Structures are given as C-alpha cells and as structure tokens.
Amino acid sequence: MMGIVEVLKHYRFFKRVFNQVLAEVDKCKPDAALLVDYPGFNLRLAAALKKRGVKVYYYISPKVWAWNKKRIPKMAKVIDRLMVVFPFEVDLFKDTDLQVDFVGNPLVEQIDEFLASDPTPVPWQSERRIALLPGSRKQEIERILPTMLEAAKKLEALFPDLSFMIATPNEQIQGIVKGRVFQCRDKPSRLNVVCGHARESMRQAEAAIVTSGTATLETALIGTPHILVYKTSAPTYWFARSVVKISHLGLVNIVAGRTVCPELIQHDATPETLASETAKLMAATPERQAMLDGYDEVRQLLGTESTAKNVARILCDA
C-alpha cells in the first residue's frame, strides 16, 4: 500500500495485527525475531521487541539512502543486526554500532533461474521488438503510457519493422492499459498488451522503455538495454525533489554510482527525447555496448551468492 491515505484507511487492521504479534511474542517468548522490509510497521515492532529483550534481525533496509537519513540512529537502537540487499547500504551505518551485512540481492538469483528456463511464446508482431513497461499503478500508467505510445510511434517511423509489447502485472492493470491505449491517437500500428510475461517480454525484446522501479533492475539483470522514464504530478515531483537526496532515480544507476541508463524524468520525458534515446540502442552502437558493460558491472557489485542462504547462515551462527 502507498500513501498516508491508504495507511489511515487500514489503521485499525495494522493496529490489530501489531497487537496480535506482540501477544504471541509475550506468550512464546522467542529469543530472536527476523523482520522483513515494510519499515512503517516493522521499525515500530522492532522497538517493541527490543523492550521485551528479543534480539532483532532485520532483512531489507528502509531506503534511508534516498530520504530521511534521520532514521539511521533510531534503527541502530532497535535493531541488533541488519541485512541489506545493496552493497552501498553498508557504509550508511558506519557511524553507528549496528552490525550490517550485505547478503546479496534476491533478484539476481530469481533472474538467473528465469534465464535458465525455456522461453515462453509472447505474441509479438515482428522480429524486431521493444518492450514497454508503464508501471503497476493507475496514476503511473495514466501519466506515462501516453508518452511511451507516442514515442513508440516515432520509433516505428524510424524502424518500420518494429513491434511493441506492453506487459502488465495483472488483469486489472491490463484493463486500465487497454483502455488508455484505446484512447490514445498517437500509437504504433503493431502493439499488443499481455497480462504477465513482463520478464519474458524483456528477454525477447531488443530494447525496453521502463517506468522507474524494481523493473529497471530486472531489465538490466536480464540484459536488455533500456531507458528509464518517470512522470508524476507537479506537487509530488517538487516535494520528492525536496526530500530525496540522491543523484539518480534508477536502481541500476544507484548501484553503479554513475549513469548507466538514461533517466528521463518529468519534463525531460518527452516523446521526442524518449524515441531519440531508445533509437540509440537499436543496433550495435557504442551506447548499447556501454550500457551492457554497465550491466556487467552492476551484476558483479550485487554478487552471485544465494541471499536466502546468506541470511540463514547469519541466523544460524548467531
């Protein structure tokens, strides 16, 4: 769930679950607890567990590297050991006594398993292919998809044999996407919308246009060159700029510590620029090779070990 309105709507539910967890802790008196992600709930739970003498392990850190670094001292007080999934996160806690371990990123293992599987047929309309991933939220889709479609039309004019695939995470989002596609005048002639098959569409595509989020890292690990795009409302954009203190938005660029994939954000995300940047990836260009080399660098930084095994080893050795 996203946003304060959604949280307030479910406040009673969260409060009930919180109390039920603590009641179970008081009954069973565990020596330790493993909390996973979801900081809005779990950091409060960690504090309550700490007061009860329960050793707290935390897997997947809140994104303090992006915003609200003031949480770092509080985390150090209520967490005994933190296991992070990005290597740069370790240094964020160097001025505290909190023990922090980089345990690898679970996406690496997931994508490697996917790449070892047999391809699944996806209904492309030609051999040259671009995947479009406009996000998984209605607001994202409404703001970003029209720009993607117009850029796709411009790319089709440059490469007449191109086809495009929009992969959606579920049937509800698929319906929203199809409705938006129907409304848009400027769109390519060879375009399909599929439910699921996002990773398969990435694997089979020559390039991809991807909304900022985890999908950008997935695309990189699969090995498909892509352009990151993101648009939001003007108030949200300016608020985010005031609180988010990072030089890049995409996970690939954040992990690499430099620009591997172009980021077209807000006013920079025009159909013309998006088409122009994507066109640079449509052949054996220096831009395409530089991006693929950057992907290799990111893979090395994320490691190859099993994240689950690393977490289990830390818990067993405690």
pLDDT digits (tens, 9 = 90+) for 2-58: 445 556 677 889 899 999 999 999 999 999 999 999 998 999 999 999 999 999 999
Q: Give CA angle at 181 (133, 122), nearest 5°.
A: 50
On whether both 163 and 53 belong to a single domain, the answer is no
- Rounded CA separation 202/196 (Å): 11
**Tally of domains within the chain:** 2
Nearest CA-CA partner of 108 in 258, 277, 255, 313: 255
The least confident of 45-49, 170-174, 238-242 is 238-242
Look up residue 34 and give its two tokens. 């493993």
On whether both 267 and 133 belong to a single domain, the answer is yes
On whether both 65 and 79 belong to a single domain, the answer is yes
User: Taking a C-beta distance cutoff of 8 angstroms, is the pair 314, 81 a contact?
Assistant: yes
Q: What is the pLDDT of residue 238?
A: 77
Q: What is the pLDDT of residue 139?
A: 87
With respect to residue 310, please indicate whether it lies within any of the assigned structural domains: yes
On whether both 146 and 269 belong to a single domain, the answer is yes
Number of Cβ atoms within 10 Å of the Cβ of 38: 12
Where would I find the H helices in 86-197?
Answer: 106-115, 138-158, 171-183
Look up residue 264 and give its two tokens. 């077209």
On whether both 146 and 39 belong to a single domain, the answer is no
Band of pLDDT at residue 190, cut at 50, 70 and 90:
very high
- Rounded CA separation 10/4 (Å): 10
Range of the domain at 257: 128-302
- Count how many residues are written for the chain: 318
With respect to residue 218, please indicate whether it lies within any of the assigned structural domains: yes
- Rounded CA separation 154/186 (Å): 9
Band of pLDDT at residue 1, cut at 50, 70 and 90:
very low
Domain at 100, CATH number: 3.40.50.2000
With respect to residue 196, please indicate whether it lies within any of the assigned structural domains: yes
On whether both 202 and 235 belong to a single domain, the answer is yes
Band of pLDDT at residue 232, cut at 50, 70 and 90:
confident
On whether both 311 and 283 belong to a single domain, the answer is no
On whether both 294 and 309 belong to a single domain, the answer is no
Span 309-315, mean pLDDT? 95
With respect to residue 258, please indicate whether it lies within any of the assigned structural domains: yes
Q: What is the pLDDT of residue 267?
A: 93
On whether both 135 and 276 belong to a single domain, the answer is yes
Sign of CA dihedral 248, 3, 234, 171: positive
On whether both 297 and 166 belong to a single domain, the answer is yes
- Rounded CA separation 169/174 (Å): 7
With respect to residue 67, please indicate whether it lies within any of the assigned structural domains: yes
DSSP designation for 305: S
The least confident of 62-76, 128-142, 170-184, 294-308 is 62-76
Q: Give CA angle at 126 (122, 131), nearest 5°.
A: 55
> 42 exposed, middle or buried (CB, 10 Å; 0-12, 13-18, 19+)?
buried
Element (H, E) at 166: strand 162-168
Per the DSSP assignment, residues forming a β-bridge with 209 are 132, 227
Span 163-185, mean pLDDT? 95
With respect to residue 68, please indicate whether it lies within any of the assigned structural domains: yes
Long-range contacts of 268-274 (CB under 8 A, 24+ apart): 269/144, 269/147, 269/229, 269/230, 269/231, 270/147, 271/147, 271/150, 271/151, 271/153, 271/154, 271/186, 272/151, 272/154, 274/147, 274/148, 274/151, 274/209, 274/227, 274/229
> Quick one: what percent of the chain has pLDDT higher than 90?
82
With respect to residue 111, please indicate whether it lies within any of the assigned structural domains: no
On whether both 189 and 78 belong to a single domain, the answer is no
Q: What is the pLDDT of residue 2?
A: 46
pLDDT value at 140 more than 70: yes
Q: What is the pLDDT of residue 6?
A: 58
pTM: 0.89
On whether both 184 and 268 belong to a single domain, the answer is yes
With respect to residue 109, please indicate whether it lies within any of the assigned structural domains: no
